[in-house]
Amino acid sequence: MTLQEFLQNFANGISLGSLYALIAIGYTMVYGILRLINFAHGEMIMVAAYIAFYTVFIFSMPWYISFFIAIIITTIVGILVERLAYKPLRSSPRVTILISAIGVSFFLQNLGIVLFTGRPKAFQVPTLFSQVYTIKGVNIVSLTFFIPTITVVLLILLVYVINNTKIGMAMRAVAKDYDTSSLMGIDVNKIISVTFGIGSALAAIGGIMWSMKFPQLTPTMGLMPGLKCFIAAVLGGIGNITGAVVGGFILGLTEILLVAFLPDLSGYRDAFAFILLILILLVKPTGILGEKIAEKV
Partner 1 sequence: MLKINNLHVYYGGIHALKGISLEVPENKIITLIGANGAGKSTTLRAISRLVSASEGEIIFNNEDISKLKTTEVVKRGITLVPEGRRVFPDLTVLENLKLGAYLRNDKKAIKDDINHVYEFFPRLKEREWQLAGTLSGGEQQMLAIGRALMSKPKLLMMDEPSLGLAPLIVQDVFEIIKMIHQEGMTILLIEQNAMAALKIADYGYVLETGTITLEGTGQELLNNEQVKKAYLGE
Q: For partner 1, give the closer residue by CB, 125 or 162.
A: 162
Nearer to partner 1, 176 or 296 (CB): 176
Least distance to partner 1 from the beta carbon of 290, Å?
14
Q: Of 125 and 293, which has the nearer Cβ to partner 1?
A: 293
Nearer to partner 1, 264 or 295 (CB): 295
If the CB atoms of residues 174 and 209 are measured against partner 1, the closer one turns out to be: 174
What minimum distance in Å lies between the beta carbon of 173 and partner 1? 5
CB of 177 to partner 1, least distance (A): 6
CA-closest candidate to residue 28, choices 196, 286, 280, 238: 238
Quick count: other Cβ atoms within 10 Å of Cβ 260? 17
Nearest approach, Cβ of residue 184 and partner 1 (Å): 5
Sign of the Cα torsion 273, 278, 280, 281 reads positive
CA distance 283 to 274: 14
Minimum gap (Å) between residue 188 Cβ and partner 1 = 8
Residue 170: other Cβ atoms inside 10 A: 19
- Interacting residue ranges for partner 1, rule: CB under 8 A: 166, 169-170, 172-173, 176-177, 179-187
CB of 167 to partner 1, least distance (A): 10
Which one, 92 or 216, has the nearer CB to partner 1? 92
Angstrom CA distances, 25 to 100, 172, 244, 285, stand at 21, 15, 6, 18
In the complex, minimum distance from the CB of residue 77 to partner 1, in angstroms, rounded to a whole number? 26
Strand partners, 133: 140
Closest CA to 220 of 57, 49, 80: 49
**Could you tell me if 217 and 120 are in contact, meaning their C-beta atoms sit under 8 angstroms apart?**
yes
Q: Which is nearer to partner 1, 35 or 172 (CB)?
A: 172
Classify residue 282 as exposed, middle or buried by CB count within 10 Å of its CB (0-12, 13-18, 19+): exposed
Segment holding 132, helix H or strand E: strand 132-135
Helices 3-34 and 166-176: crossing angle in degrees, nearest 10, is 70
